[in-house]
Amino acid sequence: MAKAPKVARAHPLAGRQFAGNGVTLAPVDIASRVSLRAEAGALADIGKLLGFALPTRPKTSAAKGRRTALWLGPDEWLITDATNQRLAATLAKAEPAGCSVVDIAHRNTAIEVSGPNAAAALNAGCPQDLRAAAFAVGAASRTVLAKAEIVLLRTGEDAFRVECWRSFADYVWTYLVDAAKSA
């Protein structure tokens, strides 16, 4: 049988950049991502495979090295690995303990929104309170940005990561550029 040709992954926002009005937008490099649904009994096993404990409080995240785990719901997490390793295969070893690991690396992409007006630009389409008191560094939440569902993570005082579906990437990027121009 002929060997399958190796196909390079294309970034949906390749080559785009924006900076102005106190907002910088940058596509986040291709990474591996996992949607995890887990029962309480499986959390210890997953923590061992992951290298750190999953966050269990609402609107929080945990990170170690280049891996980040975001609390999305009482039994749901989004886990990213910026080194683009086969994260799903690693975590799937915990499935017998009572969890579901789904590789969503090709479904999601992310945009880094930074700068002193980053929160203002996001608030053009995101109705959540993004002041530091309500959405501290490390806070993470699934929410909306205009018509698109996003997962928002605050990575710094003036820096956010917006995770969205790759099919929405053009919409989210264009919306954020417009928002940044009027931020």
Partner 1 sequence: MLLIRCPYCEEERPELEFAGAGEAHIARPANMSDISDEDFEAFFFIRENQKGIVFERWRHIHGCGRFFNAARHSVSDKFIVTYKAGEPKPELTDEQIAAVAGATGKSGK
Which stretches of the chain bind partner 1, using CB under 8 A? 58-59, 72-74, 76, 127-128, 141-144, 149
Q: How far is the CB of 39 from partner 1 (least distance, A)?
A: 15
Q: How far is the CB of 141 from partner 1 (least distance, A)?
A: 7
Q: How far is the CB of 43 from partner 1 (least distance, A)?
A: 17
Taking the least distance from each CB to partner 1, the nearer of 97 and 148 is 148
Taking the least distance from each CB to partner 1, the nearer of 24 and 143 is 143
Taking the least distance from each CB to partner 1, the nearer of 114 and 143 is 143
- CA dist., res. 137 & res. 130, Å (int): 10
Q: CB of 111 within 8 A of CB of 162?
A: yes
Taking the least distance from each CB to partner 1, the nearer of 60 and 155 is 60
Q: In what order do the strands lie in the sheet with 159-165?
A: 18-20, 23-27, 108-114, 159-165, 148-156, 140-145
Q: How far is the CB of 3 from partner 1 (least distance, A)?
A: 41
Q: In what order do the strands lie in the sheet with 76-81?
A: 61-64, 67-73, 76-81, 32-38, 99-103
Taking the least distance from each CB to partner 1, the nearer of 11 and 37 is 37
Task: Find, among 53, 80, 75, the residue nearest to 155 by Cα.
Answer: 80
Q: How far is the CB of 159 from partner 1 (least distance, A)?
A: 22
- CA dist., res. 47 & res. 168, Å (int): 31
